[in-house]
Amino acid sequence: MNKEEEYIEYYEKGINIYEREDFKDIISEKRLLNVKNCYNERLYWYEHPEWNHKTFRCKKPFCPVCSMKNRYQKFKELKKKALALNKEYWVFFLTLNGSNVEIATDKINKEIENNNKDFKKLLDKPFMKKIVRKYLKVIEIKYTDYDSLPHIHIVLFVIKGVYKHFKISELKELIRACLKTQNQ
């Protein structure tokens, strides 16, 4: 299976999910039509590769393939910025997990707010102010069949002399202790 066939299969799965009755209040008919048009365009050009063309994309966030491509382009932009900062700073990766919550917009938003508050409190600690110069934060929500887990992936750009201030094991313990006291 080549890349185009994978995209077409991805569209078909997305359209089948969006056409289900329980998605009627999430995806409007107009949005579903946009996804189907994007799918039909890709399918048409896949079936006629001999014609020179530029592939149409609807670029909508609810379109399965366009959303994936938009995320990839955002990833490339962030990667470029991170590599530029990597010359000046050292990089640490941190993931702050929230609690599993029901799949309900208000509960997910509340959990994301709590995660953001915890992260802000962590950055306000004196030891973090001393070493962190910049950061990159991405909020992700992992879904299962019955609940969701909002969490934050963080890339911390710290001063190159961080080892003069802390050992890495001490830094890990300080962050853990800070997060434990916030969650209590």
Element (H, E) at 157: strand 147-158
Q: Residue 144 maps to which CATH number?
A: 3.30.300.100
Asked if residue 79 belongs to a domain, the reply is no
Which of 66, 99, 120 is the last residue in one of the domains?
Answer: 66
Give percent above pLDDT 90 in the chain.
0
Asked if residue 119 belongs to a domain, the reply is yes
Q: Write out the residue range of the structural domain in which residue 114 sits.
A: 88-183
Mean pLDDT of 79-84: 82
Pair (47, 121) in one structural domain: no
pTM above 0.75, yes or no: no
Q: Is the confidence at residue 134, as pLDDT, over 70? A: yes
In whole angstroms, give the CA distance from residue 100 to residue 108: 9
From first CA to last CA, the distance across the chain in angstroms is 50
pLDDT at 181: 58
pLDDT at 25: 73
Backbone angles phi, psi at 52, to 5 degrees: -75, 130
Q: Is the confidence at residue 131, as pLDDT, over 80? A: yes
Residue 98: exposed, middle, or buried by beta-carbon count in 10 A (0-12, 13-18, 19+)? buried
Please identify which residue in the block is written with the tokens 């995806």: 27
Looking at the structure of the chain, the number of domains it has is: 2
> Which residue would you say has higher pLDDT here, 163 or 152?
152
pLDDT at 28: 81
Pair (25, 110) in one structural domain: no
pLDDT at 101: 77
Pair (178, 147) in one structural domain: yes
pLDDT at 163: 73
Pair (94, 168) in one structural domain: yes
pLDDT at 76: 86
| pLDDT band of 5, cuts 50, 70, 90 | confident
Asked if residue 144 belongs to a domain, the reply is yes
Query: Residues with Cβ < 8 Å from 175, sequence gap 6 or more?
Result: 94, 122
Mean pLDDT of 32-42: 83
Pair (94, 147) in one structural domain: yes
Pair (21, 58) in one structural domain: yes
Asked if residue 140 belongs to a domain, the reply is yes
Angle at Cα 30 formed by Cα 29 and Cα 35, nearest 5°?
Answer: 95
Residue 14: exposed, middle, or buried by beta-carbon count in 10 A (0-12, 13-18, 19+)? buried
Please identify which residue in the block is written with the tokens 């590599």: 83
pLDDT at 32: 82
